[in-house]
Amino acid sequence: MKWITTNVQVIKGIGGAMLLIPAPKDESLNLIEVKNKYQIEISNPKKKRSLNMNSLVWLLCQRIAEKISRDGQYVSKEEIYREAIQDSQSFMPVCVQTKIANDVIRKWHHNGIGWTAINAGDSKIKGCTVLHLYAGSSSYTVEEMSRLIDCLVDEAHNVGASVEDSEYIQNLLNDWEDEDNEQTETQG
């Protein structure tokens, strides 16, 4: 059983704390038995990226790659995507033992196409290497995805690739926020 809610209250006492969690009017609550053990997780809901926004990102990457590839060398949409992530997003600097740096990079890349790790060189700490870790867009908030799209739109303009009108792009961003708000209201 899983739902999104608001107004969670914590009641603290001598013996610990209790949570009061507003729940939906649902018959499945009748199945809860006092004697059973339950795993409960509380977290803030994250906005899921819209498939339309994801499609727009890949469409822009494809158009940019095609324009750049016409100048004599092949560039893939995946290369454009990774470059845009590095240009538009912040990285997480991580210090790792030099002997495992390549393994960390390899494993980070397995998270997805946009998950990149760059070896930034030796750390001030002996035997350590600094890596710059960039997360892929699957983990982005609306603001981060908006920045990625802005980066791709700018690049598309720079290379002469066609771009959707800014009102269309803004509507996609607004729809993403609206979908998330509707989901929260219906489940709360």
Extract the runs of DSSP E, i.e. beta strands, from 106-184. 116-122, 128-134
* Residue 21 reports pLDDT greater than 50: yes
Choose between 37 and 102: higher pLDDT.
102
Using CA of residue 108, residue 110, residue 116, residue 122, what is the dihedral sign? positive
Per-residue pLDDT band at 78 (split at 50, 70, 90): very high
* Per-residue CA distances from 121 to 90, 135, 163 (Å): 18, 20, 38
Is the pLDDT at 118 greater than 80, yes or no?
yes
Q: Is 158 in contact with 164 (CB distance < 8 Å)? A: no
Highest mean pLDDT among 21-30, 50-59, 99-108: 99-108
Q: Which residue has the higher pLDDT, 50 or 4?
A: 4
Q: Backbone phi, then psi, for 125, in 5-degree steps?
A: -85, 125
Query: Comparing 27-36, 79-88, 146-155, which segment has the lowest mean pLDDT?
Result: 27-36
Beta-strand ranges (E) seen in the chain are 9-13, 16-20, 92-97, 116-122, 128-134
H helix or E strand, kind and range, residue 177: helix 166-187
Least confident piece of the model among 24-38, 81-95, 128-142: 24-38
- Per-residue pLDDT, 46: 59
Q: What is the mean pLDDT of residues 52-66?
A: 90
Number of H helices, E strands in the chain: 5, 5
> 123-142 pLDDT, tens per residue?
999 999 999 999 999 888 88
